[in-house]
Amino acid sequence: MVRHYPPAYKRYREKHKTISIVLTKTTKDALNKARGDQSYSKFIQSLFVPNGVFSQFEKQKAQLESERAALEKERKNLNAIERFTVTCKVCGKPLIFNKQKMREKWDKNVKPILDKAFSTYYHVPDCRPKQ
């Protein structure tokens, strides 16, 4: 037997679709916690409005991608800088020697001394000299 629905009910159902989902208890508890006092319908709708959760996630994603790109560029720049740190004998804070700040002195004064001082060091065990 086919049930007869009035035209108003049919029009309502055409404009207001029903969805049904199956959730685990844990997922449903998380959903209930996230939606707070809102009905399920209002909560789901709030996700898709212009300033809703999804649009905020997209904005955050774009911002994080921009920050990641800037950090990657900075990391590449830092990797290109030769630098050496020693402790100050007076205050104990680090003294940072780098090629960018000491352009003229680095190649002829600092670099040869560092090369000589660390000439016996190597990566363990990969680069150990063959005897």
pLDDT digits (tens, 9 = 90+) for 9-43: 999 999 998 889 999 999 999 999 988 898 888 88
Residue 8 lies inside a defined structural domain of this protein: yes
Residue 44 lies inside a defined structural domain of this protein: yes
Per the model's pLDDT, the better-predicted residue between 91 and 53 turns out to be 91
Range of the domain at 6: 1-48
Residue 101 lies inside a defined structural domain of this protein: no
Per the model's pLDDT, the better-predicted residue between 58 and 124 turns out to be 58
- Between CA 66 and CA 89 the distance in angstroms is 41
Residue 39 lies inside a defined structural domain of this protein: yes
Residue 25 lies inside a defined structural domain of this protein: yes
Amino acid at 127: C
User: What is the pLDDT, as a whole number, of residue 130?
Assistant: 64
Q: How many other CB atoms sit within 10 Å of the CB of residue 71? A: 10
The pLDDT tens digits of the residues spanning 73-92 come to 988 877 667 777 778 888 88
Residue 38 lies inside a defined structural domain of this protein: yes
- The share of the chain scoring above pLDDT 70, in percent, equals 88
Cβ neighbours for 128, distance < 8 A, ≥ 6 positions apart = 122
pTM over 0.75: no
Mean pLDDT in the chain?
A: 83
User: What is the pLDDT, as a whole number, of residue 124?
Assistant: 67
Cβ neighbours for 53, distance < 8 A, ≥ 6 positions apart = 46, 47
User: What is the pLDDT, as a whole number, of residue 80?
Assistant: 67
Per the model's pLDDT, the better-predicted residue between 90 and 130 turns out to be 90
Domains in the chain: how many in total? 1
Given a cut of 70, whether residue 129 has pLDDT beyond it is no
Residue 121 lies inside a defined structural domain of this protein: no
Helices and strands: H and E segment counts in the chain: 6, 2
Given a cut of 70, whether residue 97 has pLDDT beyond it is yes
